[in-house]
Structure 1
Amino acid sequence: MEVTEIAAKELRYQKHLPKDYKSENAIRWCPGCGDYAILTSLQKAMAELNIDPHKIAVISGIGCSSRLPYYMNTYGFHSIHGRAAAIATGVKVANPELSVWVATGDGDSLAIGGNHFIHTIRRNVDINILLFNNKIYGLTKGQYSPTSDRGFVSKSSPYGTVEDPFRPAELTFGARGTFFARAIDVDIKNQTEVMTEAAKHKGTSVVEVLQNCVIFNDSIHNRISDRNWKADNTIILKHGEKMIFGKEENRGIVLDGWNLKAVTIGEDGYTLDDILVHDATTRDNILHMKLALMDIADRLPVALGVIRSVKEPTYEKEYERQIEEVQMMTPKRSFTEFLLNSPNIWEVK
């Protein structure tokens, strides 16, 4: 083997670094914004997956989150409000080999983009949706969003909202979603891991990142992101492992009738054997839903990590298969055969 061939072979298998996915553009987010950590996590995940930058496309809508494509050394498209998932679908169907990502916020994807969001999930298009959830409209200066809590006071709800919020997990599961994961912006390790798993999943993956807006909704996720109580108020679910959490790792999740319950191992008769084992791959989403909706208000930890990951046919593969089947059944399979060589032509003089 010649030296040039050896060099080419080594180059092919050379592992990418996070810096390979960083663009030269100056990052324009507010100092302290949680978006920085999400961007860093995505670049780390890309390096872990060792995907060539030219094989990645990042699509966004409108909002602070939608600046992200400018900061990735990949293909990118800054689209219009709420339409990122629809455009990403077109990108994936036209270029099935691309790793396609959507960067969107809770307002962009769940308000004007709500229909695109649920139908993309229903179709199970093989794209990855990063949903930045700060429970506020940040770019337009602090109006309440579809995920703002009832009673939330904002510029557009000075006396508090009188409506209940969307919960992204409910929408995802209601649309028969095959992958749902959650992370906190300050936890880069878990973010990187769930993004990596999302990329490996064949189908629509939704990663909800609980993100902090330091200007208009600062500390909205503080009850689970603060390091002083994060271990007691969150649980990182891992497929095939016991649902254990807490600073002392002595607490766990058990089934109490139809409901979930947080217990202390060794107290009230509960042992390690009683603690549930996480199964992210079961098709029935009832337990996944219960896990995703756990809340400290109900004395349960907020679930992080990959909550659901199920194999189902993807839209673009089924689309390709259908075209091939129809072509096999049709004797005239090309434009020339179908039209140019048909008797239904005429000359214009």
Structure 2
Amino acid sequence: MTTTEPGLVGTKLPLDALSSVPKTDAPQKPKDYTSDQEVRWCPGCGDYVILATIRALLPKLGLKRENITFISGIGCSSRFPYYLETYGMHSIHGRAPAIATGLATTRPDQSVWVVTGDGDAMSIGGNHLIHTLRRNVNMNVLMFNNRIYGLTKGQYSPTSETGKVTKSSPMGSLDHPFNTLSLALGAQGTFVARALDSDRKGLTEVLEAAARHRGTSFVEIMQDCPIFNDGSFDLLRKEDAADHLIPVRHGEKIIFGDEGQHCVVRRGFSLAVAATADVDEADIVVHDAHTDDPTYAHALANLSSQDLEYTVTGIIRQVARDTYDDLARGQVEHAKEIATSDLQALLDGSSTWTVE
């Protein structure tokens, strides 16, 4: 992976996002990342599980705590920076990716994380999110999706299902919800993944891969809001949840169900769910998260439906592409190399104007 912009020296870019972040020699534990702030979420909120998972993951990365920064916007999820013993910033509504872009560009020694919600990221912050993904800035965007506005007391959000009855839609929402994975893929995201808060193992695997991905990692975490949208993801937690969850792993056939009775096959330009017993084994799709062609990833994302009949989890796409911050720093260095220190030469040069 090399830079290709005209005028830039072709330097090798490390694929591991943590290669430039200082490491610690001292062993760490989850309690080292626990701040002295009281955690203030509603009882039963999925945010507790996500916080515990992050606290358990960070010691495994082996980074110095002063080289980790969590930046949030506005919402229940945005209290996250207070509860971690790292650097952090509680910023403004929807603008966390913009602030994180500045930090990632100026401080390559930082592991930068954005914590946001479905309303914060996909409504007022939608513009910032898609351009961060398009630019491929070196950061991790964790979007907590409870399909409701929780902090402002229960209005429908950009991910709420059609017909959702809320305080702001008493007769049912008329909006068609975003397919979050398709949105991220359409913005040319290089790392797009989804996890369920109650699946600690799957969530940890996705988060660790995201932390090491060089570029923008987008991880949707489906989590429950027990006060304003209780049971939103119950279909994915009940006894027959395995019939609805489609976990994917790169290089493995997409087979799911308690006994592997379901699988994913190709149907024209799309993908479809079929009974494993009814298809040839060779027709079962092998998940390829590393293909440059986004068509397959889009087809996989479109298997997920708003009624949760089928929900794909895991790393949908993970590809390498030059990052905005690496290119920006390279451009600055190149400008320094060709710049002249002769002020008079600059004044007498061709880039002058006569004001009459």
After TM superposition, the structure 1 = structure 2 runs for residues 1-349 of structure 1, keeping only pairs within 5 Å, are 12-226=24-238, 228-265=239-276, 267-268=277-278, 270-295=279-304, 301-332=310-341
Q: Aligned in 2, Cα 1:338/1:76: closer, same or farther, shift over 3 Å? A: farther
Matched residues in 2 for 1:246 and 1:67: separation?
36
More relative contact order in 1 or in 2 (CA 8 Å, sep 6+)? Answer: 2
Q: Aligned in 2, Cα 1:112/1:299: closer, same or farther, shift over 3 Å? A: closer
SS in 2 for 1:119: helix
Amino acid of the structure 2 residue aligned with 1:225: R
Deviation at 1:338, TM superposition (A): 5.1
Of the structure 1 ranges 152-161 and 231-240, higher mean CA displacement relative to structure 2 is found in: 231-240
Q: Aligned in 2, Cα 1:84/1:338: closer, same or farther, shift over 3 Å? A: farther
TM-score, reference length from structure 2:
0.87
Of the structure 1 ranges 41-50 and 28-37, higher mean CA displacement relative to structure 2 is found in: 41-50
Contact residue 262 and residue 299 of structure 1 kept, 8 A: no
Q: Aligned in 2, Cα 1:84/1:240: closer, same or farther, shift over 3 Å? A: same
Amino acid of the structure 2 residue aligned with 1:326: A
SS in 2 for 1:202: coil
Matched residues in 2 for 1:239 and 1:40: separation?
26
**Aligned residue pair count:** 325
Matched residues in 2 for 1:152 and 1:302: separation?
19
Q: Aligned in 2, Cα 1:32/1:299: closer, same or farther, shift over 3 Å? A: closer
Amino acid of the structure 1 residue aligned with 2:285: L
Q: Aligned in 2, Cα 1:326/1:127: closer, same or farther, shift over 3 Å? A: same
Matched residues in 2 for 1:42 and 1:116: separation?
24
Amino acid of the structure 2 residue aligned with 1:261: A
Matched residues in 2 for 1:100 and 1:50: separation?
15
Amino acid of the structure 1 residue aligned with 2:260: E
Matched residues in 1 for 2:128 and 2:242: separation?
35
> Percentage identity across aligned positions?
48
Matched residues in 2 for 1:297 and 1:315: separation?
33
Matched residues in 1 for 2:269 and 2:185: separation?
19
Of the structure 1 ranges 12-21 and 51-60, higher mean CA displacement relative to structure 2 is found in: 12-21
Matched residues in 2 for 1:151 and 1:70: separation?
35
**Gapped runs of 5+ residues in structure 2?**
1-22, 349-356
Of the structure 1 ranges 298-307 and 286-295, higher mean CA displacement relative to structure 2 is found in: 298-307
SS in 1 for 2:315: strand
Matched residues in 1 for 2:214 and 2:274: separation?
35
Matched residues in 2 for 1:55 and 1:154: separation?
41
**Gapped runs of 5+ residues in structure 1?**
1-10, 344-349
Contact residue 45 and residue 193 of structure 1 kept, 8 A: no
Matched residues in 2 for 1:300 and 1:141: separation?
27
Matched residues in 1 for 2:98 and 2:155: separation?
25
Amino acid of the structure 1 residue aligned with 2:51: L
Matched residues in 2 for 1:240 and 1:69: separation?
35
SS in 2 for 1:279: coil
